[in-house]
Amino acid sequence: MGAGRTGAGGGLLVAGTTSDAGKSVVTAGICRWLARRGVSVAPFKAQNMSLNSYVTREGAEIGRAQAMQAQAARVEPSALMNPVLLKPGGDSSSQVVLLGKPVGELSARGYHAGRQRELLGTVTDCLAELRRTHDAVICEGAGSPAEINLRATDIVNMGLARAARLPVVVVGDIDRGGVFASFFGTTALLSAEDQALIAGYVVNKFRGDVSLLEPGLEMLRDLTGRQTLGVLPYAHGLGIDEEDGLRVSMRGAVRESVVAPPYGDQVLRVAVAAVPLMSNFTDVDALAAEPGVVVRFVDRPEEIADADLVVLPGTRGTVKALRWLRERGLADAVARRAAEGRPVLGVCGGFQVLGETIEDEVESRAGTVEGLGLLPVRVRFARDKTLARPSGKALGEPVEGYEIHHGVAELLGGAEEFLDGVRVGAVWGTHWHGSLESDGFRRAFLRRVAADAGRRFVPAPDTTFAALREEQLDRLADLIEEHADTRALLRLIEDGVPEGLPFLPPGAPTAPHPTQEPTR
């Protein structure tokens, strides 16, 4: 396999025994491993449920994880790589983004019962186009392929694999325990037609001596007739983009990538309010990558008392987040910080709550509500979503970012403009996601924050976020290259589904009518 292949490219679907089993990072690792071999490769996720999203150069909104996987593949992100994106807005509905553009809100029942089946043709067309223009396409599943209540309308796991005749590798997180039962049960709950596509397993996040695991792997092969194609060790500090904010939206969670000592005399402490429906929390990854910057996600006012910077992140529910801040006492604590000249940064929805009023007949339909009144801004929610890739200068440094919002900010004057937003004293607000990934701007901003906070913190002069991300992606490729059966993976990608894979009883029972939320 190599660059210049004509006709339909090869393919592989990476499924998982559960959500967060490691599908995203394994997919990214395979993409980077293939790219390093000179293979023209693209990632693909038919349907993604996530509040972390990204704007492509053509102005399409896709899952942030697929943008990261495109970087791993060394290709430009495209709406083809994530044709369906679901952005939860509450317990029972999501905004549906189709080919990069929002097309409406649907309940989980309405999506599964009607729209999802209609989208299979769009999904397979996108995959076919990617396979036509690339040597290989590495697809990522969602949740588990054994969610038998959703199988009838599935377009992202076995439904996609059947439609495109893709071999499937199932990833299991051994750190959670029960990985052998998960592999066996996942396979045995599938129909005979679906089982015929399950080509092998990958153990993820293994700690210890692999030789102690090998007897179990042999028994699993005897039971299922399928090989384990890799045992990937637990890797600390990868810092790769997550699908959503659920795993960090709890009190006291710390970004795992905080490992380096400060360049100056003191650390800089950043507290991120874990607001409901938190979106694009990856904005603070560039802060966590700085030596001496400690990033924590918090939900109580006392936890921001000693913070040098408080970040109000993006959210899919601005009015809901504002209510949450007030109920928790965080709104008053942020207001006190502003009065004392202590730094606060609001990004997107976090910027909107800092304004004077919010007029929302679109997202929450709450009408006009009072904001925190810390920035001279009025926000009105528009039905059309702003999707943009702006660039400019701030604090004397070039900056790039991306915008994803319905709220339109009207600046009322009397304050310094900042990245199409505004700054008053030590309170900063912008709709730009990703601005802190611009190294020069990030360092200038942190110097300003340290000065306002009275901290002897000095940003390291040589931290390059893009280079760190490349190192992380290469580490993922190293895990695949060193700990997976790469010859077997190549055979699957090039030759497709192996013949004669055995059936494991009992197989799939009759699926009930789907009623639950789509999976991530």
Q: Give per-residue pLDDT as tens, 89-131.
A: 866 788 999 999 999 887 766 665 556 667 899 999 999 999 9
- Concerning whether 236 is annotated as a catalytic residue, the answer is no
pLDDT reported for residue 241: 58
pLDDT reported for residue 252: 40
What's the whole-number mean pLDDT along residues 279-283?
A: 91
Following DSSP, what letter does each residue of 451-516 receive, concatenated?
A: HHHT------TT--HHHHHHHHHHHHHHHHHHHB-HHHHHHHHHH-SPTTPPP-SS---PPPPP-S
Given the residues 31, 134, 348, 431, the one annotated as active site: 348
Domain definitions of the chain by residue range: 10-238+471-495, 264-460
Q: Give per-residue pLDDT as tens, 357-408.
A: 999 998 889 999 999 999 999 999 999 999 999 999 999 999 999 999 999 9
- Concerning whether 348 is annotated as a catalytic residue, the answer is yes
Cα–Cα distance for residue pair 93/112, rounded to 1 Å: 12
| Residue from 13, 16, 28 nearest 174 by CA | 16
Top-level CATH class of 10-238+471-495?
alpha beta
Q: Give per-residue pLDDT as tens, 134-182.
A: 999 999 999 999 999 989 999 999 999 999 999 999 999 999 999 999 9
Q: Give per-residue pLDDT as tens, 299-337.
A: 999 999 999 999 999 999 999 999 999 999 999 999 999
Counting residues of the chain whose pLDDT is more than 70, the rounded percentage is: 90
pLDDT reported for residue 221: 97
Q: Taking the model in full, what pTM does it have? A: 0.91
Sign of CA dihedral 60, 65, 69, 72: positive
Cα–Cα distance for residue pair 367/361, rounded to 1 Å: 6
5 — pLDDT class (breaks 50, 70, 90)? very low
**Pairwise pLDDT comparison (342 vs 240), residue with the higher score:** 342
In the three-class reduction of DSSP (H, G, I as helix; E, B as strand; rest coil), residue 382 is classed as strand
In the three-class reduction of DSSP (H, G, I as helix; E, B as strand; rest coil), residue 315 is classed as strand
Top-level CATH class of 264-460?
alpha beta
Q: Give per-residue pLDDT as tens, 464-491.
A: 999 999 999 999 999 999 999 999 999 9
pLDDT reported for residue 256: 41
Cα–Cα distance for residue pair 16/23, rounded to 1 Å: 6
pLDDT reported for residue 92: 73
Cα–Cα distance for residue pair 58/81, rounded to 1 Å: 13
Q: CA angle, corner 113, sides to 111 and 114, nearest 5? A: 70
Cα–Cα distance for residue pair 29/240, rounded to 1 Å: 11
**Which residue type occupies 481?**
E
Q: Give per-residue pLDDT as tens, 21-43.
A: 999 999 999 999 999 999 999 99
Q: Do domains 10-238+471-495 and 264-460 have the same CATH topology?
A: yes
pLDDT reported for residue 113: 58
What pairing do the DSSP bridges indicate for beta strands 367-370 and 357-360? Answer: antiparallel
Cα–Cα distance for residue pair 496/199, rounded to 1 Å: 9
Q: Give per-residue pLDDT as tens, 64-88.
A: 999 999 999 999 999 999 999 999 8
What's the whole-number mean pLDDT along residues 458-463?
A: 94
Q: Give per-residue pLDDT as tens, 226-269.
A: 999 999 999 876 656 555 444 443 334 444 444 578 888 899 99
Provide the 10 A C-beta neighbour count for residue 234: 12
Within 13 Å and on the Cβ side, how many CA atoms surround 4? 1
pLDDT reported for residue 415: 86
Cα–Cα distance for residue pair 314/294, rounded to 1 Å: 20
What's the whole-number mean pLDDT along residues 171-195?
A: 96
Place of tokens 């009065």: 339
Given the residues 112, 405, 406, 433, the one annotated as active site: 433
Cα–Cα distance for residue pair 283/285, rounded to 1 Å: 6
Q: Give per-residue pLDDT as tens, 419-456.
A: 999 999 999 999 999 999 999 999 999 999 999 999 99
